[in-house]
Amino acid sequence: MADIGKVIVQINGTGRVTLHALADLQFGSKSCDTFLMRHEIQKVTDDPSGGMSVILGDITDDDRPSTRDMRKAAFHARPEVRDSDARDKKFFIDEKVIPMLLPLAQTKRGIIGVLAGHHWSYVRVKGPKTEAHPGGVHYVNSARYICDELGRLTKRKVPYLGIMSAWIQLYFHMTVGRSFIKTIHIQHGVGGGQTLASALNKLEMTARWAEADLLIRAHDCKLVAAKTVRLGPREDHGGKAKSLRAKDIALLNVGAMTRAYVLDADEPDYAEMGMMRPTAMGWGEAHFDVRRCYTAEDPGRNWTADIRVTI
């Protein structure tokens, strides 16, 4: 991971803040449903709670790890070929991808983090001449470039959090009373599976070692939402455990903007070639319902948030 995200959520009191989780846009693929994508992005920008979003990777239909290695090996002695590819990719992102994602970065709460995922490529960027880049030209991960460009256009940071996974800490700053933190673990995801349970199993396995209040995953294009519970002793102010404390852990696996089966005279998409199940179109949301603690939860009745996941 490249960083741990830290986001301040200013809120006056009781209310809802929604986080929209996006992934697997695969912009540029013939299977990408751009009409649905625009509709889903419009839902985010219309969100009255501020349109906060996170992107879990595979923004464009690019090389995956194996083909990046093959391309590097095939054109090892031809850097001009790789340079041309990087120029073309920058042009495509500037012309197609940035205009599509810019409304997300312009909402009140903006994009709080971006992962690259499996599908990304290198983009050619010109900048000042440095010791590392004497010609002023360097090549960056396309997801990082998208973050930098959206940040330049909106004049606020769009955090690039790495390739596969990261944590994000939401700092809820309350106008009155003690502020609190909710921790999110995001991952692009690996592996497959033909059942909805396969995605949920992978989230539950991650929850064994990743400390978080909310875990979000993508990659296999399955829409699944659930909760698991952790129990432990609740100590009073004297340090004595007189009751049990239950903590809900929210799990969310998000879908995609790619159709598995398309009417096309050319070769079918990889999903149909493998006779896989159709992908679940659409993404998911996590709702943070901010409230005062009940006296039984916290005698001081400080602030907290219940997390509800929807698909």
Could you read off the pLDDT of 11-26 as tens digits, one per residue?
999 999 999 999 999 9
306 pLDDT above the threshold of 70: yes
pLDDT at 212 (0 to 100): 97
Q: Is the pLDDT of residue 228 over 90?
A: yes
- Highest mean pLDDT of the ranges 37-51, 185-199, 258-272: 37-51
d(CA 121, CA 140): 8
Q: Which of 108-122, 193-207, 258-272 has the lowest mean pLDDT?
A: 258-272
Which one has a higher pLDDT value, 85 or 229?
229
CA distance 154 to 251: 31
Are the C-beta atoms of residues 204 and 251 closer than 8 Å to each other? yes
Q: What is the pLDDT of residue 262?
A: 80
For residue 57, the Cα-to-chain-centroid distance in whole angstroms is 6
Pick from 14, 5, 7: which is nearest to 174 by CA? 14
Per-residue pLDDT, averaged over 166-192, amounts to: 95
- Please give the pLDDT value at position 61: 86
Give me the residue label for tokens 């501020």: 50
**pLDDT > 80? residue 265:** no
Domains held by the chain: number = 1
Q: What is the CATH number of the domain that holds 135?
A: 3.60.21
Q: What is the pLDDT of residues 25-41, one digit of tens each?
A: 999 888 899 999 999 99
Confidence (pLDDT) at 242:
73
Q: Which of 230, 225, 267 is nearest to 250 (CA)?
A: 225
- Please give the mean pLDDT across all residues of the chain: 89
pLDDT number for residue 74: 67
Stronger pLDDT, 137 or 47, i.e. the higher one: 47
Tell which phi-psi region holds residue 69, choosing left (phi > 0), alpha (psi between -120 and 50) or beta. alpha
- pTM score, whole prediction: 0.91
Residue-number span of the structural domain to which 198 is assigned: 5-310
